[in-house]
Structure 1
Amino acid sequence: MSEQPTEGVIKYQLSHQKKALSNPPIQLLNSWRLLLKNLDMVGQHPNRYQGYGFGNLSQRLTPLPATHNNCFLITGTQTGGLAQLSAADYAMIIEANPTQNQLTAEGLCAPSSEALSHAIIYQTLPQINFIFHIHCPIIWQYSQQLTIPCLPTNLAYGTPAMAQAIASLVQEKQVQSHGIISMLGHEDGLISFGKTADEAGWPLIHYWVLAHTV
């Protein structure tokens, strides 16, 4: 049985310094977020997922010191319902230890509850610079028919077990060529990724169109 995506519930151990981010590069993320929000892949509705916000986007930050080459910017927790995001609605992940379920972050808001899933992909695939986590019932329901690579149904979101399963899955060349995975244990949840924002976003559009033809 899949788990409801109660994304307001942060499961990791968070060390968070509440401070304003200095000119974070949010333009590309905001543009793609608006498109995905218009397709109801990002948002917040009272009749979906117990009213919690859903969907989050991130971007690797470069150039960075060698000790922080996996820093990334991510939309804040429970920002899905906002029409537009400002710098205050993003968090910067400074360090991530998915096996220990720990994150260190800065920003005026806390990072999304899916930040560990983003972190493990950035750590596993150094060529990836953008990750989009969305919720789309029609793509998710037809994931197997559409031959989208899938995570098992018994993995709960925001846990070290899911992070490690994601790391194993995305190392497969076929998965990297798809640029998308379906989280069968996380209702309606999918993750897309790419070197650029367009590479991360277009698989979602592609499979959204295909799903409507099944």
Structure 2
Amino acid sequence: MMENPTVGDPEHLSPADLVAAAVREFGERELVLRCVALLRSGSWVDDPDLLPAIANGQGSEVMAGRWGPPYWARVWAMRTFLYAWDPAAVPVVVAGLSDEAWRVRELAGKVAVKCEVGEAAAALLPVLADEIPRVRAAAARAVGTVGESEHAGPLRALLEDDESSVRVQAARALERLAKRLDRDIDHLGLP
């Protein structure tokens, strides 16, 4: 496990502090590329120092099979992109929107927002119908940030979602989409 130069107990650092320490240790681009490699392979075997650097003590525990399912490695790798970024991560963020683990799909949506991953727009549309409300809400936020006028229809459908948090995010996303595209909200998606 790498030495963490951040003040405080490394077992209780925030994700932002963990990634900041990892950036100091590896460099931002190198850290992102290592996370990209993990997301592509789904395995930490080739990079045993990565998870302990981005996931507190839990990374080592997952690697040893003592804590949580293995998909947590993908969760932590995707979460890293919220704090360290390089465009090389775009393909794995887009692919993460269809990951079998809902937490990865949710984080991929959050990364699409934070890093304005326009390439994710089309891949976000099926995620708007995800079975997990948190994933639908993240996808709605992302469509509002990177979508186009033609994506307004699927957002409007979410205004009737069973979950209030999804409805709220869909309404905000429509407002953001209209403002970003400089269009009247009522005419989004219409010829």
Verify same fold: TM over 0.5.
no
More helix by share: 2
More strand by share: 1
The normalised TM-score by structure 2 is: 0.30
The normalised TM-score by structure 1 is: 0.27
Q: Which has the larger radius of gyration?
A: 2
